[in-house]
Structure 1
Amino acid sequence: MPVTIDREHDLPVARQAKVLNLARSTVYYEPRPVSAEDLALMRRLDELHLDYPFAGARMLRSLLRREGVSVGRRHVATLMKRMEISALYRRANTSKPAPGHKIYPYLLRGVKIERANHVWAMDISYIPMRRGFVYLTAVVDVFSRRVLAHRVSITMEAAFCIEALEEALARHGKPEIFNTDQGSQFTSLDFTSVLLDAKIAISMDGKGAWRDNVFVERLWRTIKYEHVYLHAYDSVSEARASIFGYLAFYNGGRPHSSLDERTPNEAYFGAQTIAAAA
């Protein structure tokens, strides 16, 4: 029986979750229903975004219309916002942080990443289910492509990102540089304070820029085409278990041409063994 949170109670939801020893990202709630038509549109938008990451709402609207789907640009933009996707391209950084949020400079320009735990990257992606959707976040070692930790959540709050970050740090030490985009989850004080307390340099892509988080974008493409799109999860728990199983294969059983046919585990732990021996 799921544990429920009383949203009418004087005690804040986050505090209730802490008292009950629940991760904030797993708090049970009744999600606002999304129509079957919108879910189908979101699934197709997700596929188109992977194939054409440079396409904004206007172009995606046109692509859908060529497939016989009648939809307006504003509705496409609304769904993209819900899915947390946007066109990836280089542009001047004119974005402003949310109140109380600091934007950190991009530190990876011209940096050669040649060892494990030099740079970690993190991002969030939309994951479709049979009825509904969830969000997946992952911490990736850029050198080895290894997924160091991940979380699946029904909300876009920073808590599930912080949980994944803290697990990665507890299990794998710490990187020299941690790179994200400027999403509000990553610019929040709760998130950045974990990195600052660990004395890790924080790097952030310009909003909408296509830079070193391309490695995480490639991970999303791999996960979705090799696993997510081949399954229709019936529940959040099924999505969590199934994605966990695939990522175990991704890390330990899937060779990568960019790693000389090694798996991410072999590249990550092999690199650490060589560094220790030196």
Structure 2
Amino acid sequence: MYAYIKNHLKDVSVKRACAYLGVSRSGYYKFLQHQPSNLELENSVLSDRIRTIFFAHKGRYGARRIQVELRQNHQLFVSRKRIGRLLCKQGLYTKGKRRKYLKQKSPIYFSANLVKQNFHVQRPNQLWFGDISYVPTQEGMLYCSVFIDCFTRKCVGFSIREHMRDNLVIESLEEALYREKPKKGLIIHTDQGSQYTGHRFYECSMIYHFIHSQSRKGNPYDNAVMESFYKSLKREVLPPKQYQTKAQARIELTDYLETYYNYQRIHSSLDYQTPVAFEQNHKFS
């Protein structure tokens, strides 16, 4: 939350942002003054070394071989588990690695499919769609959460993070709600991902008075608006090869979502108008 406030100070005051997100101003200023510990600095340097070795061997070396490489060529004695944690934190996985997945738990809060592939609405902020997609980089994986208005096809909110926890979704949702200020009765349609079936997303639906709708399991057509959006984003933004850095990916994605997509990109479904122009031409009282 504090990082979100820091990144959006140009839009809102600290006092108002803290009150809106339910956090203290003293906690925010403490966050700004935080100095990294020796362990954090050590992990940062070690992560760079590990990433260099990983890409030097084109993703063929796992924690065991990287441990040997660090010991033999860098005189660094690091446990294999620590190396594994730092690899995982950067989204780096060895080629051919068999990842173990825990059996998915049943959703805590399940919502019915209220949309039923009916993507025709009469006004803005009546129906939103949301989803998450991954963005690979040579420094690891980024994850992008976006909410799209069904009527205008406008990107009403987004968030880009290095994790897929529910914070990713909550940040993009709260940004969208702050910008658009929809009336009660808004329907937000998502898939059955754990970020949307947990208690935090459910609590948001109670606080902000929106109605949650969910796709049927394993049916991408129920969320076709988002499937189409991410298909366009990946085709128009992502390079043929991975981004070199996460910073480069963030800049490109933010520019596309914040500036180009809403204000410059015309849509065939909007009679070849941009989302903002289409919204302005369909003002509602």
TM-score, normalised to structure 2, is 0.62
Give 2:106's aligned residue: 97
Unaligned runs of 5+ in 1: 4-16, 40-70, 82-94
- Taking only the aligned residue pairs, the percentage that are identical comes to 28
CA distance in structure 1 between the partners assigned to 2:212 and 2:169 by the alignment: 15
Q: Which amino acid in 2 is paired with 1:215?
A: V
CA distance in structure 2 between the partners assigned to 1:133 and 1:218 by the alignment: 22
CA distance in structure 2 between the partners assigned to 1:214 and 1:232 by the alignment: 26
Give 1:224's aligned residue: 234
Note the alpha carbon deviations across 1:90-127, whole angstroms, 9 max, x for none. xxxxx8634xx211111112643232111001100011
Q: 1:238 to 1:110 in 2, by over 3 A?
A: closer
Give 1:146's aligned residue: 154
Note the alpha carbon deviations across 1:114-173, whole angstroms, 9 max, x for none. 321110011000111133221111011112211111111111111121011001001101
The residue correspondences of 1:204-223 to structure 2 (distance < 5 A) are 204-223=214-233
The answer to which structure, 1 or 2, has the higher relative contact order (CA under 8 A, 6+ apart) is 1
Unaligned runs of 5+ in 2: 4-26, 34-39, 61-94
1:250 aligns with 2:261: yes
Give 1:45's aligned residue: none
CA distance in structure 2 between the partners assigned to 1:210 and 1:251 by the alignment: 24
2:189 maps to which of 175, 179, 199: 179
The residue correspondences of 1:122-137 to structure 2 (distance < 5 A) are 122-137=130-145
Q: Which amino acid in 2 is paired with 1:176?
A: L
Asked whether the 8 Å contact 2:117–2:221 carries over to 1, the reply is: no
Alignment RMSD = 3.4
Give 1:263's aligned residue: 274
Q: 3-state DSSP class of the match of 1:134?
A: strand
Q: 1:110 to 1:240 in 2, by over 3 A?
A: closer
2:250 maps to which of 220, 240, 247: 240
Note the alpha carbon deviations across 1:64-89, whole angstroms, 9 max, x for none. xxxxxxx98x95xx59x8xxxxxxxx
Give 1:108's aligned residue: 115
The residue correspondences of 1:41-60 to structure 2 (distance < 5 A) are none
Note the alpha carbon deviations across 1:38-65, whole angstroms, 9 max, x for none. 69xxxxxxxxxxxxxxxxxxxxxxxxxx
**Number of residue pairs matched?**
206
* Structure of larger gyration radius: 2
1:168 aligns with 2:176: yes
Q: 1:259 to 1:201 in 2, by over 3 A?
A: same
CA distance in structure 1 between the partners assigned to 2:249 and 2:131 by the alignment: 18
